[in-house]
A and B are shown apart, each in its own frame.
Chain A
Amino acid sequence: MSIFIDQSTRLLVQGITGRDGSFHAKQMMAYGTKVVAGVTPGKGGQRFENAVPVFNTVAEAVHETKANTTVIYVPAAVAASAIFEAADSGIELIVCITEGIPMLDMTRALPYVHERAARLIGPNCPGLISPGKSKVGIIPGNICQPGKIGIVSRSGTLTYEIIHQLSTQGFGQSTCVGIGGDPLIGTNFIHCLSAFETDPETAAVVMIGEIGGTDEQLAAEFIKENMKKPIVGFIAGQTAPPGRRMGHAGAIISGSSGTAAEKMAALQRAGISVMKRPADVVPLLKERL
C-alpha cells in the first residue's frame, strides 16, 4: 500500500497543453502514472502526445474517463478557479502545484473543497509519489525507491535531498508527500501522519518542517497522542531572521512564534528524533527501526 495515490490512480492534468503541464505530464506518463485525461479550455478534442484525450472542462473529463485525481499546473491568476472547478466535478484528490496563489483566493477555495469532501494537496507544492506505483506532480522519479519510509514535507528540493539520502543508503519510500510552502494549504502534517499510521506498508515517517506558523507543534501533539510508528523530523530555518519571508510565503517568523528552535523543542518533547542536518536522517532512522 501507500497513501493517497497508487496503481488505481487515474490522473487528470489541468493545464496539460501549457509549458509546465505538458513537460510534467510526459514525465508522469514515462514514470507509469495512468494519465487518463487533460483539460485546456478551447483545446477539447485534441490528443496530448497522440494518446491522452484533452477536454474543455473538468466535468467532461471526469465523466468520460473516470479520473479520480487531478493535478493543476495552470498560472497563479487562474489556479483558484481551477481548484473550484475540480472540486465541483466530484473528483476525490486535487493536487495543486501552482505557486503564487493569493491567500485571499485560498480563504474561499479551501472551504469549497472541504464541503465537497475532496482532498486538496498544496498549493505551491511538488506533489506526491508512491515509488513504483504512481507519481502526481514534479518530484523526480529517478531519485526514489520503493520501500517503507513515508515522507511528509513543506518543501520541494529539500525533500529531494532527504529522498536522495534515503534511497542511496537503502531506505526506499512508501509515499513522499510535499504539502506545500504556503500559509494556507489543503492537507497538513496531521492528515498525512494519520494516513501513514494506518498504512501497513509504512514502517516509519520522516517529517520535514520549516519556520512559520504552528503546524509542526500541532503535529507534535498529534504524534504524542496517536502515533506508534517512529518519526524522524527536521526543521529548516534555524538561521532565518525574524520578520522576513524566506522564499515560501509561509516561512516567516512573526514575533517570537514560529521559530525553528521552538518547533524542534516541540518535536523532541513528543518523542520524535530531531535531525540537526539532512545527513542525520539515515542514522536516526536506524536507531528507531
Chain B
Amino acid sequence: MNLHEYQARDILRRHGVPVPAGDVASTPAVARAIAERFGGKVVVKAQVHAGGRGKAGGVKLADGADAAKAAASAILGMTIKGLTVQKVLVAPAAEIASESYVGVIVDRASQRPVLMVSPAGGIDIEEVAAKTPEKIHRLAIDPRYGLLQHQALALGFRLFGDVKQARAAADIMQKLYGAVYAVGASLAEINPLVSTPDGSVQALDAKIVIDDNELERRPEIAALRDVSAEAPEEVAAREAGLTFIKLDGNVGCCVNGAGLAMATMDLVKYYGGEPANFLDIGGSSNPQKVVSALRIITADPRVRVILFNIFGGITRADDVANGIVQATREFALKVPIVIRLIGTNEQLAVDILTKAGFAALTDMDEAVKQAVAKATGKAA
C-alpha cells in the first residue's frame, strides 16, 4: 500500500526526523488559509500515488496566500497518470543548499533491509542507479542489531563533509530505519534530504510503501488507505478477497492462483488476444467469491468474453461451478463465457455446469483459443 507524501512526512516526524512544516488541503480556500498562516512563499504539491508530479505540473511555487489559492485550484482535480488529485500539501518554500537521497528498502537478494544513500538527491533514484551507479552507497543491515551508529555516521560522511551535518544525517538514517520496522514498510525514502543555508538537515519529501501483509496487524496504518486514490474495481475486488488488476484488453480472465493467472494472460496474448485483467480468486473454496469476480469483470464494458481457468487443488471445481451458476441467477452476464476446469471435484463441476446449460472444457489451450476467437469475432 502506498502512502501519500503528507502521511509519510507525519510518520517520519513522529519518529523524530526533522520535517519542515506543512499541511494538507482538499479545497483552494483551505490551501489559502494554510499559506496565510505560514506567510511568504509556499510550495503547493499534488498528493497522488504517482511519480513525476513535478513534470506533470502537480508542484507549484506560490508567493503569498492568493497565489497559493490559485495554485491549489489549478492542481486539485487535475489528472496525473490516470489519478485525480484530491489533496494538496502546502508547505513553506525551503531554501536549499544541497539535496541528497536516503532510503531503506527490503532487498530480496540479500534478504535484509538495505540502506541506500546518495549525494545525488532530488531526482529519481532509479535514474541515478542507471546513469551514475557510483554515486549510490549501500549497506545491508543485520536486523538483529539494527543500523549501528558508526555505520550510519560513515554513510553520513558520504553526504556531508561537515561533521555536524554528517551526524545529523546519521541520526535521521537511524530514525528512518526505526520507522520501517515500526510501521511495516517495504520501502521508506527521503528524497530530497536537504541542507539549508543555516546548516540544518531536513527531510523535505518522503515516500513510504507499506507491505500489504502488515496491514492486518496494524489497523492504524491500514486506516491511512486512501480509497479515492485507487481504481474502484480494485477496491471492490480487495473487499471481496480477490486480487484484481485492470488491463487494456477484452478477454476477461478468472483464474485460481497467481502464477496460473499470469500464464493464462500470456496464453491469451499467444493466441492473438488481449487480456482485460489479472484476477486471482485465491486458494479457498467459496462460490460467493466467484460471483463477486464475475460482477467485477462484467462491469468493464470492453470485456467481450469471460474466460475461466481453474485447476482445483484446495479450490474445489464444484464450488467454482456453483458460483458461476449462482451469478447468472443474480445478474445477466451479457457476454459469452468459456470455462476450463480440472482437478478436485471436476466431475461434480461438469455436471453442475452441464445441467445449467454451460459447456466445460478440460484443456487450457483449447479454452483460451475459444475465448480469443469469441473476443475477436473470428472462428477458433
| A interface with B by C-beta (< 8 Å) | 20, 76-77, 99-104, 106-108, 110-111, 126, 138-140, 143, 153-161, 164, 181, 183-184, 208, 210-211, 213-215, 234, 236-241, 244-251, 255, 260, 276-279
Pick the residue among A76, A143, A158, A244 that contacts B213 (CB under 8 A): A76
> Interface code B16-50, partner A: CB below 8 Å = 1, 0 otherwise?
00000000000000000000000000000000000
Task: Check B106–A157 contact: CB distance below 8 A.
Answer: no
| B351 is an interface residue with CB less than 8 A from chain A | no
| B239 is an interface residue with CB less than 8 A from chain A | no
Q: What chain A residues lie within 8 Å of B278 (beta carbons)?
A: 240, 244, 246-247
- Total number of residue pairs linking A and B with CB closer than 8 Å: 161
Instruction: List 17 additional contacts besides A108-B144, A156-B313, A238-B262; criterion CB under 8 Å.
Output: A140-B343, A155-B260, A161-B260, A164-B342, A181-B258, A183-B108, A236-B266, A239-B265, A239-B269, A241-B247, A247-B261, A247-B280, A249-B212, A249-B213, A251-B259, A255-B126, A278-B267
Q: What chain B residues lie within 8 Å of A101 (beta carbons)?
A: 213
Task: Check A236–B259 contact: CB distance below 8 A.
Answer: yes
Task: Check A102–B314 contact: CB distance below 8 A.
Answer: no
Q: What chain B residues lie within 8 Å of A140 (beta carbons)?
A: 312-313, 343-344
| B52 is an interface residue with CB less than 8 A from chain A | no
- Closest approach, in angstroms, between the C-beta of A217 and any C-beta of chain B? 11
Pick the residue among A215, A240, A278 that contacts B265 (CB under 8 A): A240
Q: What chain A residues lie within 8 Å of B262 (beta carbons)?
A: 158, 210-211, 236-240, 246-247, 251
- Closest approach, in angstroms, between the C-beta of A69 and any C-beta of chain B? 21
CA distance A154 to B108 in the complex (A): 14
Q: What chain A residues lie within 8 Å of B258 (beta carbons)?
A: 155-156, 181, 246-248, 251
- Closest approach, in angstroms, between the C-beta of A240 and any C-beta of chain B? 6
Q: What chain B residues lie within 8 Å of A210 (beta carbons)?
A: 259, 262
* Size bracket, chain B contacts: 35 or more
Residues facing A in B305-321 (CB within 8 A) are 311-315
CA distance A75 to B262 in the complex (A): 26
Q: What chain B residues lie within 8 Å of A160 (beta carbons)?
A: 260, 311, 313, 343
Residue of B whose beta carbon sits closest to that of A140: B313
Q: What chain A residues lie within 8 Å of B113 (beta carbons)?
A: 104, 107
The listed residue with most A CB atoms (<10 A of its CB), out of B142, B260, B280, is: B260
Pick the residue among B106, B265, B266 that contacts A184 (CB under 8 A): B106
| B357 is an interface residue with CB less than 8 A from chain A | no
Task: Check A126–B313 contact: CB distance below 8 A.
Answer: yes
Pick the residue among B180, B213, B247, B257 that contacts A155 (CB under 8 A): B257
| B165 is an interface residue with CB less than 8 A from chain A | no
Task: Check B261–A103 contact: CB distance below 8 A.
Answer: no
| B205 is an interface residue with CB less than 8 A from chain A | no
Q: What chain B residues lie within 8 Å of A251 (beta carbons)?
A: 258-259, 262
CA distance A143 to B342 in the complex (A): 10
Residue of B whose beta carbon sits closest to that of A24: B314
Task: Check A161–B311 contact: CB distance below 8 A.
Answer: yes
Task: Check A277–B111 contact: CB distance below 8 A.
Answer: no
Q: What chain A residues lie within 8 Å of B344 (beta carbons)?
A: 140
CA distance A167 to B276 in the complex (A): 32
| B270 is an interface residue with CB less than 8 A from chain A | yes
> Interface code B261-295, partner A: CB below 8 Å = 1, 0 otherwise?
11101111110000100101001000000000000
Task: Check B259–A107 contact: CB distance below 8 A.
Answer: no
| B186 is an interface residue with CB less than 8 A from chain A | yes
- Closest approach, in angstroms, between the C-beta of B90 and any C-beta of chain A? 28
CA distance A107 to B111 in the complex (A): 6
| B214 is an interface residue with CB less than 8 A from chain A | yes
> Interface code B346-380, partner A: CB below 8 Å = 1, 0 otherwise?
00000000000000000011000000000000000
CA distance A161 to B309 in the complex (A): 11
Residue of A whose beta carbon sits closest to that of B105: A254
CA distance A272 to B355 in the complex (A): 46
Q: List 23 A-B contacts (CB under 8 A).
A: A77-B217, A99-B283, A100-B216, A102-B214, A103-B106, A103-B213, A138-B313, A138-B314, A140-B343, A143-B343, A156-B258, A160-B343, A161-B263, A208-B259, A213-B108, A236-B262, A236-B263, A276-B270, A277-B263, A277-B270, A278-B263, A278-B267, A279-B364
Residue of B whose beta carbon sits closest to that of A157: B257
CA distance A213 to B105 in the complex (A): 13
Known A-B contacts A108-B144, A184-B108, A184-B111; A156 and B266 likewise in contact (beta carbons under 8 Å): no
The listed residue with most A CB atoms (<10 A of its CB), out of B106, B144, B213, B275, is: B213
Q: What chain B residues lie within 8 Å of A158 (beta carbons)?
A: 257, 259-260, 262-263
The listed residue with most A CB atoms (<10 A of its CB), out of B184, B257, B344, is: B257
CA distance A276 to B368 in the complex (A): 14
- Closest approach, in angstroms, between the C-beta of B285 and any C-beta of chain A? 11
9 nearest interchain CB pairs?
A155-B259, A247-B258, A157-B257, A158-B259, A236-B262, A157-B260, A183-B108, A237-B262, A158-B260
Residue of A whose beta carbon sits closest to that of B142: A111
Residues facing A in B103-136 (CB within 8 A) are 106, 108-109, 111-113, 126
Task: Check B259–A102 contact: CB distance below 8 A.
Answer: no
Residue of A whose beta carbon sits closest to that of B127: A255
Q: What chain A residues lie within 8 Å of B79 (beta carbons)?
A: none
Q: What chain B residues lie within 8 Å of A181 (beta carbons)?
A: 258-259
| B245 is an interface residue with CB less than 8 A from chain A | yes
Known A-B contacts A103-B186, A211-B262, A236-B263; A156 and B283 likewise in contact (beta carbons under 8 Å): yes
- Closest approach, in angstroms, between the C-beta of A86 and any C-beta of chain B? 18
Residue of B whose beta carbon sits closest to that of A213: B108
Q: What chain A residues lie within 8 Å of B267 (beta carbons)?
A: 277-278
